[in-house]
Homo-oligomer: A and B are copies of this chain.
């Protein structure tokens, strides 16, 4: 009994759900906006069922009229110092409430994004760390065209901060490294992203007025989703607003769920998402790491005659040399092993990529083994 239960728990952990993943997914309101307070709305979702949460919570710490305590009671506007502390505490309480539900709903290997400004992001970040979320990056959205500081009293507030976190230190989160590198002109994507604010055609308007005061640009969500979700993943946005998350999810072939209290926002969002056409499957396909490419064992190159047993290989500087054996291992005077393990041993390094470490003479030129592998792939794959 105990054993069975443990097994179930382990399996559930691995698959990210108490029930089978397909079974849980069936229960999700995919492509729908749940109306009402986001904490209540998230309570209706099963545990460990979504792959990513994107949250754009209220930034406002002055509270005014647009923030309620988790119990629904209204927070009065406050001016004196004593009450200011009270308002921070109230904001923290609100933050802990929605983050707790987000955490419950996330799969163990899911991740969460939260965007904010200096008014709220420090509190949000500290609470996330306290709850066990593991910060992976803080990302700076550098606004190409920020609002100037009209009074000249401070620096132009030209950025917002996003926190990207996994469920814990050991979680196996999704990061499409190769897609980001491709998107960034073959350089690693950095933690600062230069993107324009949402304006022009993209900005939703009704009767000349903007429908939502803080509509986020689709480019921002595009990068977030492309980087940290896979096609078919479920993305939840607890502060859905006018549905930027939903529109981008649909375009990129991700599933989405939104929570939103205001009916005007819900209507605008549904209308907008309807118009967001899914991209072709081929357009969504991202550059995969070479790891995902068809594997070629070193031995295959020998079997197929691309490299002959007895050939000498060496490192780039010619400090180490070794001979190729018929079984695909390498041998030198001192030792032998796979292309990787021998390279590591000779250098005294913990690891080594033999494909780039070892070089071979081919048509008069000295090339890394990986070049031969690429030629083999080109000749056999397409």
A138 with B161: CB separation less than 8 A: yes
In the assembled complex, how far is the CB of residue A88 from the closest CB belonging to chain B, in whole angstroms? 6
Complex: chain B residue closest to A142, CB-CB: B192
Is there a chain B Cβ closer than 8 Å to A199's Cβ? no
Of A175, A227, A351, most B-chain CB atoms within 10 Å: A175
Is there a chain B Cβ closer than 8 Å to A263's Cβ? no
Known: A122-B124, A129-B88, A168-B81. A140 touches B72 (CB 8 A): no
CA distance A175 to B155 in the complex (A): 9
Is there a chain B Cβ closer than 8 Å to A119's Cβ? yes
A126 with B129: CB separation less than 8 A: no
Q: Interface residue tally of chain A, by bracket?
A: 35 or more
CA distance A119 to B135 in the complex (A): 8
Which of B124, B136, B347 touches A154 (beta carbons < 8 Å)? B136
Which of B84, B121, B177 touches A122 (beta carbons < 8 Å)? B121
A191 with B157: CB separation less than 8 A: yes
Chain B residue numbers with a CB within 8 Å of A190 are: 146, 155-156, 158-159
Is there a chain B Cβ closer than 8 Å to A349's Cβ? yes
From 348 to 380 in chain A, residues with beta carbon under 8 angstroms from any chain B beta carbon are 349-353
CA distance A169 to B88 in the complex (A): 14
From 168 to 200 in chain A, residues with beta carbon under 8 angstroms from any chain B beta carbon are 168-169, 175, 177, 180-181, 188-192
Is there a chain B Cβ closer than 8 Å to A294's Cβ? no
From 44 to 87 in chain A, residues with beta carbon under 8 angstroms from any chain B beta carbon are 66, 68, 70, 72, 81, 84-85
In the assembled complex, how far is the CB of residue A59 from the closest CB belonging to chain B, in whole angstroms? 12
CA distance A338 to B125 in the complex (A): 42
In the assembled complex, how far is the CB of residue A341 from the closest CB belonging to chain B, in whole angstroms? 14
In the assembled complex, how far is the CB of residue A165 from the closest CB belonging to chain B, in whole angstroms? 9
Complex: chain B residue closest to A290, CB-CB: B152
B132 with A81: CB separation less than 8 A: yes
Is there a chain B Cβ closer than 8 Å to A304's Cβ? no
Is there a chain B Cβ closer than 8 Å to A310's Cβ? no
B148 with A188: CB separation less than 8 A: yes
Known: A88-B129, A126-B123, A126-B126. A152 touches B188 (CB 8 A): yes
A137 with B153: CB separation less than 8 A: no
Is there a chain B Cβ closer than 8 Å to A280's Cβ? no
Is there a chain B Cβ closer than 8 Å to A381's Cβ? no
A125 with B135: CB separation less than 8 A: no
> What are 13 A-B contacts defined by CB distance under 8 Å?
A66-B350, A68-B350, A117-B138, A118-B137, A122-B123, A122-B124, A122-B135, A125-B125, A140-B140, A153-B177, A155-B189, A156-B191, A159-B190
Which residues of A are interface residues toward B (Cβ below 8 A)? 66, 68, 70, 72, 81, 84-85, 88, 117-119, 121-126, 128-130, 132, 135-140, 142, 146, 148-149, 152-159, 161, 163-164, 168-169, 175, 177, 180-181, 188-192, 227, 289, 347, 349-353
